[in-house]
Amino acid sequence: MKILWPPALILFAIGIAMGQGHSPVTPSARTTAENPRERLAFLVGSFVTEPHILPGRMFPKESVGKGTSEVRWVLDSMFVFVDERSVNPVLGVYKGIGLLGYDPHDKQYTLSMYNNFGDHPEYRGSFAGDTLVLAARIPAPGKTFDQQVRWYPEGETVRLEVLNDTGEGFVPVITQVSRRAQGSGPQTPGR
């Protein structure tokens, strides 16, 4: 004798079987101290920025610019959206957007940036103490080079350092001081 299971009962059984061993994700579960995304909270907010292009082979003297940075949680606090804008005598007008997040499979932070110069580097890395260190291979005319981006909190500011290695070791090329706009404090994910 054959027993025919109603389709609704079959779907119910499949749903129970798939849910076994998995606890539901609640907002509080997404914001625990063990959550690597919480480490990015110091970057979130509205900032007034001061980028410094450091002297080097290409630029004989330091150039200081002015800009803004709007950084906010997006996609249910899974990523941080970065919107950078600045003006300086060397690069002129710079506009960049990016998504920063944590890849739980690789256990690394990832940053995909896009700017008005047509660049679109993909960075990967982790924290060293309180400093987020990300690295990418950057294509350039005739060759490629390694680049590091470092973000860290310093008192009431957030510091950004960009370092390039063209074969002679990492050399700082840009430093940026970001001061929080009034009323803009760090925000943990999910809030």
How many residues make up the chain in this entry? Answer: 191
Q: What is the pLDDT of residue 187?
A: 61
142-166 pLDDT tens trace: 889 999 999 999 988 999 999 999 8
Q: What is the pLDDT of residue 67?
A: 80
Q: What pLDDT band is residue 183 in, cutting at 50, 70 and 90?
A: low
Q: What is the pLDDT of residue 186?
A: 59
26-65 pLDDT tens trace: 333 333 446 898 999 999 989 988 888 888 766 777 778 7
Domain ranges within the chain, ordered by starting residue = 35-180
β-strands 79-88, 143-154 pairing: unpaired
Residues 6+ apart with CB under 8 A from 146: 135, 136, 137, 138, 164, 165, 170
Q: What is the pLDDT of residue 68?
A: 86
Output the six-digit token pair for 15.
């749903």
Give the integer Cα–Cα distance in Å for 89 and 60.
Answer: 13
Confirm or reject CATH 2.40.128.20 for domain 35-180, answering yes or no.
yes
DSSP 31: T
**pTM, full prediction:** 0.75
Above 50 in pLDDT, residue 4? no
Give the integer Cα–Cα distance in Å for 176 and 115.
Answer: 17
Give the integer Cα–Cα distance in Å for 182 and 49.
Answer: 13
Number of neighbours of residue 18 by Cβ within 10 angstroms? 9
60-116 pLDDT tens trace: 777 787 888 899 989 888 899 999 999 988 778 999 999 999 999 999 999 999 999
